[in-house]
Chain A
Amino acid sequence: MSATPPAGTASLKLARSNRQSPARKRADRFGDLALFLVCAAAALLALLVIVLIAKEVIEGAQPAISKFGLSFVTNTEWAPPLEKFGGEGVILGTLITSAMALAIGAPVAISIGIFLALLAPASVRNVISPLVEMLAAIPSVILGFWGLLILGPVLVSTIEPFLHSTFGFIPLFGEPQTTGNSVFNAGLILTIMVIPIIASVSRDLFMAVPRELQDGAAALGSTRWEVIRGVVLPSTVSGMTAACLLGLGRALGEAIAVAQVIGGATESHLSLFRPGGTMASLIALQFNSAVSQLHTSSLYYLAALLLVIGIASNLLASWIGQRFGGAGGVMR
């Protein structure tokens, strides 16, 4: 307390240096403006890139759009040498593989989220959480390569015949083929990709559910599961929906891994066990070897459709987060 410096040279110097010179004031005014403008320019650049992407892709698709119009979506034939391009086969393939990835992946991922956020002790969570995130870090080309060489043969020798003989009456489970390259394989690879995304988002959601609400439900006599079903899940429905949309976006747009395992066919069929194609994988497989202007343009058309779906699902997820996120009062 006694260390106050004498009101002399030191504090006077400080006061003098703090009185700003006009030059420094000018520099500060300029610096403030410059930094603001640079930051705003970076943000604008991001917007500009998105607008440019939409413009370039739609421009590239223009010839195909004017030739086929909306019937592109329902035409089944994709025959580059004959200049016939219809997207139904790959659009159907995209829907089937993504639906399969979500149907299997979402429940599993949400269970993982429940386990990590609510059931596991901290020491276990700190080990499993990074491992699940590591699954998301595996490059798609390696996952696809694994699916092609390891998963495919297993599927074709054991799992596909079993599913066909048990559920063969459903058109989805048709006759197995001799190669492991199939829509089924692609769906499983996408499932593996979707799980870590949904799992880590839902884990964070569940951890944000207030402890008092869970304790209150437990104090009223609920079991662990009843606390989860009655308190945790209802208060995070919107967040989980957004997480699933995020996963769906990933599944719809994955090109490389699907291209490796799906077999690269373009005809329209429902069987899971035959080779097929998705919009993104067809672009990856045929873009560099397109035989004509119209072929390239049709691939642009597929990209444009993907772009529209991708942006729409993002906006929807954001809207859900905004519309329902704050309303429940339980979520932050």
Chain B
Amino acid sequence: MSVFGRPADEELDPTRPLVPTGNLRRRHAVSRIVQALAIAAALGAVAVLVIVIWAVVSHGAKAISWEFLTSGYPNGVAPYIVGTAEIVAIATLMAMPVGVLIALFLSEYAGRRWTRPVQLVLDVMNGLPSIIIAVFIFALLVAHQGQSGFKASIALAIIEVPLIARGTQEVLNLVPGHQREAADALGVARWRSILTIILPAASGGIVTATLLSVARAAGETAPVLLINSLAKGDTIQLNPFQEIPNVPVRIFQLSEEANPEGFTEAWGLSLILIAIILALGLSSRALLNRSKRKMSR
């Protein structure tokens, strides 16, 4: 007989410490190695993030100056930043109502029968490569009538809708059922309780989902590249039915030219874009935590 892998012929020494031997030791070693690998993988991912962000910050900081931020092509980038803000704002104005309504349909009306198909449509829409949405809008609107910022907004809206719908649906499911039942018991009509009780309770989550989708849309390049890439960027373009200069396409075009000065400008633009996107992401996270706390109270 052996206890803890100790050979049987060895004399039993009660003061001997209980250390694993033999097979158990091997199993512990394997377990420890695997855990170390898992930690290494997580650290690796964080390291990649740090390396990329560090490259953008250290190269981009050299480009940033007051003139860079406020003037147009060829010395500054103001028109691109304003243009991207414009395109994304229009896209979000279109996508938000549709996304919220789809989420309402899923959580309030769809029932068992319709939830799955609608969910599937959203998943497919979410999984569509952005280049395909770009090609689609090109074929539908650009091929015969030419480019414009508004058409790029439509493409970005298609990208945003499933994100907003899914985020909204998640918070709608968190709205406590007894609030609905209380409204029903008081004889409040369904649409009134949805608009005055359920939607306001979910408003924090809706804003969070919208901010996240804005962050995603701001960095989307493929749609704007195919639909809205001809603007030169020497002046700020406020008319959405013209080509609008914008950040992602500018970065892409600069990266295709082998020009060191262009690279510096692209790093500067990257820094601005990444700062905006990370700020949006962080604020949406803070908002989500706050509204979740409020709801669970």
Contacts and interface: CB of A to CB of B under 8 A. Distances in A.
Interface of A: 18, 20, 28, 31-32, 34-36, 38-43, 45-47, 49-50, 52-53, 56-57, 59-60, 107-109, 111-112, 114-116, 119-120, 128, 130-135, 137-146, 148-150, 192, 195-196, 199, 223-226, 228, 246, 249, 252-256, 259-260, 280, 283-284, 287-288, 299-300, 303, 306-307, 310-311, 313-315, 317-318, 322
B200 interface: no
Interface of B: 27-28, 30-31, 34-35, 37-42, 44-46, 48-49, 51-53, 55-56, 97-98, 101-102, 104-106, 108-110, 114, 116, 118, 120-125, 127-133, 135-136, 138-140, 158, 161-162, 165, 186-187, 189-192, 194-195, 215-216, 218-222, 225-226, 229, 248, 251-252, 255-256, 263, 266-267, 270, 273-274, 277-278, 281, 285
17 contacts: A32-B189, A43-B118, A45-B98, A50-B128, A53-B133, A59-B139, A112-B42, A114-B38, A115-B38, A138-B274, A139-B277, A146-B55, A246-B127, A255-B222, A284-B225, A299-B135, A300-B139
A46 B216 CA distance: 19
Given A59-B139, A140-B221, A307 B98 contact: no
Given A31-B191, A141-B251, A224 B35 contact: yes
Contact of A318 (B41, B120, B138): B120
B222 to A, nearest CB: 5
Contact of B131 (A34, A109, A224, A280): A280
B132 A307 contact: yes
A225 B140 contact: no
Contacts of A148: 255
Nearest to B116: A322
A141 B221 contact: yes
Contacts of B97: 42
Contacts of B34: 224-225, 228
A290 B46 CA distance: 40
Contact of B251 (A107, A128, A142): A142
Grouping DSSP codes into helix (H, G, I), strand (E, B) and loop, the A interface class, with mixed when no group exceeds half, is helix
Given A39-B101, A132-B42, A139-B219, A32 B136 contact: no
Given A256-B248, A284-B225, 18 more contacts: A39-B104, A39-B108, A42-B102, A46-B161, A50-B121, A50-B124, A109-B41, A111-B41, A131-B49, A139-B219, A140-B221, A141-B221, A141-B248, A192-B52, A255-B129, A255-B131, A256-B221, A288-B229
